[in-house]
């Protein structure tokens, strides 16, 4: 078979989309669009990196910083949010044995977020609107540097992303709490106690007191608790970012209609505190808690066993609720007017608890895997280990910089961008998501596809792992030597480090190309396009066939709602 034919039809006939349920199709759409945005973000990263090695003639400073502004918007919201939201939109009903609350809403969620991401990207591409993702006041309303049309387009794009996020959150909460027709109504209190990890905490307390456990079988499984818990932070973060957007929009209107608004009537320090309180919840809600939940689920599926120290894990999620709301000040350790007590308590001491909560998640996951030896080194296991390693590297790097002494020398350097958040996102989060994709692919396709090439999957793994860690390492060394992360170096000051980081960046980009090739060769372009067509199956069915054996082994709460493929006309999906 020629490459062209292979890509068109897929491996061994590719994906037959006629048997896919609406929720399976929506999940696949969301993940595929998220993967495409990942490629765009990787390309943007490479353009910036190349410019740091040797200035590119077609890029001036306004273009460079416009790319830097949209890079995290595309990477975090366009890619990671979509992949995570897509996976959880499927997993919550799948694990809870009930239909998704609204299939239509799930479909509109990815469309809204993708549209918002494209709009924000266009604001950078067309107008070079470049306040960076931190939008420190009053930069986003500095119309001596930026056009109001660019600002409007950017705010609209980010607002759409946040509205899409709220739609996802509503759908998840509604799915957790609603009772489908014909099922017995579940009382709200135990569900809420379980969703916040309180039952796990009380189980621990009762164990210490020698009493019976508070809840022998908590009503929500641990991955659902983590999804619920992380979604609380994602919700608050969306509100804060929407609030900042409204404020910027108000000033845009003021500029457009000549209202002569004083940009200093907004206190920059107060704004920065509120904004970071919300923005840091992305780091906790999305990156730390969602990831912990995904690790737990993957470990259970891979081993077919229950999680080691479940109650500790549940209680840790409750602890993280308190921790994540009180750590934002580590972003303001170099802000001199910030009260010292805030720097000490919130910025240093409470932030240190993130080492504990994430360290616990790492330990629990590793021990769960260890107790199930011997395991086969599958794609999902190797990517999960890569993800664990990523956080094992990135979280301590973050704790180091959340120190008043070290922060004085590292704040806003490449250290922050490299060993901390790029390693956390690219190695920790993304490799965890690749593991989830390998686990979910057979479930989402009803075991209807065969991976085209295991060799390519291995190559993808090693290129991504080495590229991600290598890029973080060279950026970190540059940061220690004084290279700033939001600056332009046009005279090759750190060219050596940036050249090495660029090679690693190329490995990351090549890894993505190989993965996408392998994926398309597996499902085929026809299959890929098929997932964007309407499903004729009942939207109340999550998977049409028997659940995948792995999920049954993992002791998913109950058998997911399955049924023989049932035709239903005019279903919007």
Partner 1 sequence: MQEITTTHEVLGTLKLVYTIYALAIISLIGWFAYRVTKEPNSTKTFITPKVFYSYLALLVMVGVGIHILTYNKIPWVAWELKKHMIKPDRKVEIVVKDHKFHLPEIKPIVLQCGEIVEFNVKSEDLTYGFGLFRKDNSMVFQMQVIPKYDNKLLWIFDKSGKYDILSTEYSGPKGAFMKIKDAIRVDCHKKVALKESR
Question: Interaction with partner 1 in 264-303: which residues (CB under 8 A)?
Answer: 264, 267-269, 272
Residue 122 vs 345, nearer CB to partner 1: 345
CA-CA-CA-CA torsion sign (125, 129, 130, 131): negative
Peptide bond before residue 374 is cis, with ω within 30 degrees of 0: yes
The residues pairing with 543 across neighbouring beta strands, listed in sequence order, are 562
Q: Can you tell me the distance from the alpha carbon of 546 to that of 311, in angstroms, rounded to the nearest whole number?
A: 30
Query: Are 302 and 384 a contacting pair, CB within 8 Å?
Result: yes
Site for partner 1 in 307-336 (CB under 8 A): 308-309, 312, 332, 334-336
Binding residue for partner 1 (CB under 8 A) from 38, 127, 146, 152?
146
Which secondary-structure segment (H or E) carries 239?
helix 222-257
Binding residue for partner 1 (CB under 8 A) from 111, 319, 342, 356?
356
Residue 142 vs 546, nearer CB to partner 1: 142
Q: Can you tell me the distance from the alpha carbon of 218 to that of 557, in angstroms, rounded to the nearest whole number?
A: 10
Query: Are 307 and 300 a contacting pair, CB within 8 Å?
Result: yes
Residue 524 C-beta: closest distance to partner 1, Å: 32
Binding residue for partner 1 (CB under 8 A) from 139, 163, 342, 513?
139
Q: Is position 337 an interface residue for partner 1 (rule: CB under 8 A)?
A: yes
Residue 259 vs 370, nearer CB to partner 1: 370
Residue 440 C-beta: closest distance to partner 1, Å: 22
Provide the 3-class DSSP secondary structure of residue 562.
strand
Site for partner 1 in 47-76 (CB under 8 A): 60-62, 64-65
Q: Is position 359 an interface residue for partner 1 (rule: CB under 8 A)?
A: yes
Q: Is position 469 an interface residue for partner 1 (rule: CB under 8 A)?
A: yes
C-alpha distances in Å from residue 101, one per residue of 98, 196, 387, 421, 533: 9, 21, 31, 34, 21
Q: Can you tell me the distance from the alpha carbon of 158 to that of 193, in angstroms, rounded to the nearest whole number?
A: 33
Q: Is position 138 an interface residue for partner 1 (rule: CB under 8 A)?
A: yes
Q: Is position 473 an interface residue for partner 1 (rule: CB under 8 A)?
A: yes
Provide the 3-class DSSP secondary structure of residue 543.
strand
Residue 174 vs 375, nearer CB to partner 1: 375
Residue 572, judged by CB atoms within 10 A of its CB (0-12, 13-18, 19+), counts as exposed
Q: Is position 261 an interface residue for partner 1 (rule: CB under 8 A)?
A: no
Binding residue for partner 1 (CB under 8 A) from 447, 487, 534, 566?
487
Site for partner 1 in 524-563 (CB under 8 A): none
Residue 565 sits at φ, ψ, to 5 deg, of -50, 115
Site for partner 1 in 392-421 (CB under 8 A): 392-393, 396-397, 399-400, 403-406, 408-409, 411-413, 419
Q: Is position 248 an interface residue for partner 1 (rule: CB under 8 A)?
A: no
The beta-carbon contacts of 55-59 under 8 Å, at least 24 apart in sequence, are 55/490
Residue 92 C-beta: closest distance to partner 1, Å: 29
Q: Can you tell me the distance from the alpha carbon of 7 to that of 129, in angstroms, rounded to the nearest whole number?
A: 38
- The residue written with tokens 């908590």 in the block is 218
The residues pairing with 484 across neighbouring beta strands, listed in sequence order, are 413
Residue 396 C-beta: closest distance to partner 1, Å: 6
Provide the 3-class DSSP secondary structure of residue 280.
helix
Q: Is position 130 an interface residue for partner 1 (rule: CB under 8 A)?
A: yes
The residues pairing with 558 across neighbouring beta strands, listed in sequence order, are none
Residue 214 vs 461, nearer CB to partner 1: 461
Q: Is position 360 an interface residue for partner 1 (rule: CB under 8 A)?
A: yes
Q: Is position 355 an interface residue for partner 1 (rule: CB under 8 A)?
A: yes
Residue 109 vs 329, nearer CB to partner 1: 329
Residue 534 sits at φ, ψ, to 5 deg, of -60, 145
Q: CB count, 10 Å around CB of 236?
A: 16
Residue 374 C-beta: closest distance to partner 1, Å: 5
Query: Are 161 and 116 a contacting pair, CB within 8 Å?
Result: yes
Binding residue for partner 1 (CB under 8 A) from 348, 380, 538, 540?
348
Site for partner 1 in 186-205 (CB under 8 A): none
Residue 362 C-beta: closest distance to partner 1, Å: 10
Binding residue for partner 1 (CB under 8 A) from 125, 173, 325, 363?
363
CB under 8 Å to 257, separation ≥6 — which residues? none
Residue 220 vs 399, nearer CB to partner 1: 399
Residue 496 C-beta: closest distance to partner 1, Å: 12
Query: Are 355 and 330 a contacting pair, CB within 8 Å?
Result: no
Residue 184 C-beta: closest distance to partner 1, Å: 38
Residue 457 C-beta: closest distance to partner 1, Å: 16
Q: Can you tell me the distance from the alpha carbon of 380 to that of 450, in angstroms, rounded to the nearest whole number?
A: 15
Site for partner 1 in 494-513 (CB under 8 A): 494
Q: Is position 210 an interface residue for partner 1 (rule: CB under 8 A)?
A: no
CB under 8 Å to 349, separation ≥6 — which residues? none
Query: Are 284 and 324 a contacting pair, CB within 8 Å?
Result: yes
Residue 317 C-beta: closest distance to partner 1, Å: 16
Q: Is position 239 an interface residue for partner 1 (rule: CB under 8 A)?
A: no
Residue 420 C-beta: closest distance to partner 1, Å: 11
Choices 15-23, 106-114, 217-225, 341-349; region in contact with partner 1 by CB under 8 A: 341-349
Secondary structure string (H, E, C) spanning 46-59: HHHHHHHHCCCCCC
Residue 117 vs 413, nearer CB to partner 1: 413
Residue 45 vs 479, nearer CB to partner 1: 479
Query: Are 332 and 343 a contacting pair, CB within 8 Å?
Result: yes
Residue 143 C-beta: closest distance to partner 1, Å: 11
């Amino acid at each position: 078979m020629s490459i062209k034919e292979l890509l068109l039809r897929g491996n061994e006939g590719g994906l037959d989309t006629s048997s896919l349920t609406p929720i399976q199709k929506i999940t696949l759409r969301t993940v595929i669009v998220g993967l495409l945005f990942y490629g765009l973000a990787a390309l943007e990263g490479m353009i910036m990196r190349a410019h740091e090695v040797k200035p590119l003639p077609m890029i001036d400073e306004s273009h460079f910083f416009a790319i830097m502004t949209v890079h995290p918007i595309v990477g975090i919201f366009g890619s990671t949010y979509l992949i995570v939201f897509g996976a959880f939109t499927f997993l919550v009903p799948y694990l809870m044995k009930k239909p998704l609350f609204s299939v239509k809403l799930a479909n509109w969620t990815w469309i809204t977020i993708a549209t918002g991401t494209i709009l924000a990207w266009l604001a950078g591409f067309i107008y070079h609107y470049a306040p960076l993702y931190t939008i420190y006041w009053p930069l986003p309303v500095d119309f001596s540097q930026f056009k109001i049309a660019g600002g409007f387009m950017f705010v609209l794009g980010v607002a759409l992303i946040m509205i899409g996020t709220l739609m996802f959150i509503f759908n998840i909460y509604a799915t957790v709490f609603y009772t489908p027709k014909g099922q017995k109504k579940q009382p709200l209190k135990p569900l809420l106690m379980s969703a916040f990890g309180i039952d796990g905490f009380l189980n621990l307390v009762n164990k210490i007191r020698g009493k019976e456990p508070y809840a022998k079988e908590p009503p929500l499984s641990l991955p659902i608790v983590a999804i619920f818990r992380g979604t609380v932070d994602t919700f608050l973060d969306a509100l804060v970012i929407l609030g900042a957007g409204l404020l910027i929009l108000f000033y845009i209107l003021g500029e457009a209609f000549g209202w002569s608004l004083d940009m200093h009537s907004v206190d920059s320090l107060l704004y920065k505190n509120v904004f970071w309180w919300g923005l840091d919840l992305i780091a906790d809600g999305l990156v730390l808690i969602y990831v912990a939940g995904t690790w737990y689920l993957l470990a259970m599926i891979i081993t077919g066993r229950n999680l080691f120290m479940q109650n500790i894990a549940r209680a840790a999620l409750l602890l993280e609720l308190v921790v994540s709301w009180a750590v934002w000040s580590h972003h303001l350790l170099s802000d001199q007017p910030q009260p010292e007590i805030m720097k000490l308590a919130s910025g240093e001491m409470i932030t240190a608890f993130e080492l504990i909560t994430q360290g616990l998640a790492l330990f629990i996951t590793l021990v769960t895997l260890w107790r199930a030896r011997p395991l086969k080194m599958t794609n999902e296991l190797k990517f999960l280990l890569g993800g664990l390693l990523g956080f094992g590297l990135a979280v301590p790097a973050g704790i180091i910089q959340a120190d008043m002494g070290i922060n004085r020398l590292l704040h806003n350097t490449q250290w922050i961008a490299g060993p901390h958040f790029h390693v956390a996102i690219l190695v920790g989060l993304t490799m965890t998501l690749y593991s989830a994709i390998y686990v979910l692919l057979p479930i989402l396709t009803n075991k209807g596809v065969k991976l085209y090439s295991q060799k390519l999957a291995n190559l993808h793994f090693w290129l991504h792992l080495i590229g991600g860690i290598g890029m973080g390492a060279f950026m970190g060394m540059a940061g220690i030597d004084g290279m700033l992360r939001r600056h332009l170096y046009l005279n090759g000051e750190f060219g050596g480090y940036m050249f090495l980081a660029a090679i690693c960046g190329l490995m990351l980009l090549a890894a993505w190309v190989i993965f996408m090739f392998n994926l398309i060769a597996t499902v085929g372009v026809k299959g890929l396009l098929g997932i964007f067509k309407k499903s004729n199956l009942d939207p109340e069915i999550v998977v049409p066939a028997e659940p995948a054996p792995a999920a049954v082994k993992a002791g998913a709460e109950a058998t997911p709602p399955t049924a023989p493929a049932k035709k239903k006309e005019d279903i919007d999906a």
